[in-house]
């Protein structure tokens, strides 16, 4: 089986649609999952993360943790670890922040700018690549790759 055995592409036309996509993924997430978000500024990574936290009824607003690198959100049955890797140099910095301890304890990790820390990420990640549309301001194209089948349609 090659990495990214399952690959699909979704396009969204609004913030609400991107958050609805996130909710469909959230319903399939398991403890210890790592959701790796890639894509340029304003491509929708934080918006998507907000959709995830809303699904788990987390009241706390999922702001971009650009200055803290890492935010933890707690729901009744799940902990979401939200990471913004934009200012990191490599995955080693994540490791030093205790990343694996969080994952081993069952947190679901959501990483913005995951390409920067890709050196430490395992093939089992759920990878989403966000792209803006050249013509339509509110359109985003999202490629989802994972080893396990995730039907998000």
Ligand X SMILES: Nc1ncnc2c1ncn2[C@@H]1O[C@H](COP(=O)(O)OP(=O)(O)O)[C@@H](O)[C@H]1O
Q: Which residues bind ligand X (CB under 6 A)?
A: 12-15, 17-18, 39, 41-47, 64, 112, 138, 140
Which 28-47 positions form the footprint of Mg ion (CB under 5 A)?
A: 45-46
Partner from ligand X, Mg ion, none contacting 15, C-beta within 5 to 8 A by type: ligand X
Least distance from ligand X to the Cβ atom of residue 16, Å: 8
Partner from ligand X, Mg ion, none contacting 105, C-beta within 5 to 8 A by type: none
Partner from ligand X, Mg ion, none contacting 39, C-beta within 5 to 8 A by type: ligand X
Q: In terms of CB distance, is 63 or 147 closer to ligand X? A: 63
Which string of DSSP letters, residue by residue, matches 9-65? EEEESSHHHHHHHHHHHHTT--TT-EEEEE-STTSSHHHHHHHHHHHTT--S-----
Of 6, 2, 1, nearest in space to 127 by CA: 6
Neighbours of 122 (CB within 10 A): 9
Q: In terms of CB distance, is 95 or 118 closer to ligand X? A: 118
Partner from ligand X, Mg ion, none contacting 79, C-beta within 5 to 8 A by type: none
The DSSP call for residue 119 is G
140 touching Mg ion, by CB under 5 A: no
CA atoms of 143 and 66, how far apart (whole Å)? 24
CA atoms of 15 and 17, how far apart (whole Å)? 5
For binding to Mg ion (CB under 5 A), which residues are involved?
45-46, 64, 112
């Amino acid at each position: 089986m090659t990495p990214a055995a399952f690959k699909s592409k979704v396009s969204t036309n609004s913030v609400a649609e991107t958050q609805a996509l996130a909710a469909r993924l959230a319903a399939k997430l398991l403890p210890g999952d790592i959701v790796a978000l890639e894509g340029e500024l304003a491509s929708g990574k934080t918006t998507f993360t907000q959709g995830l936290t809303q699904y788990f009824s987390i009241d706390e607003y999922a702001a971009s943790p650009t200055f803290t690198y890492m935010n933890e959100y707690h729901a009744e049955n799940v902990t979401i670890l939200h990471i913004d890797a934009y200012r990191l140099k490599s995955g080693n910095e994540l490791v030093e922040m205790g990343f694996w301890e969080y994952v081993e304890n069952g947190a679901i990790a959501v990483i913005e700018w995951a390409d920067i820390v890709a050196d430490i990420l395992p093939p089992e990640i759920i990878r989403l690549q966000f792209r803006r549309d050249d013509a339509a301001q509110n359109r985003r194209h999202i490629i989802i790759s994972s080893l396990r089948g995730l039907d998000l349609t």
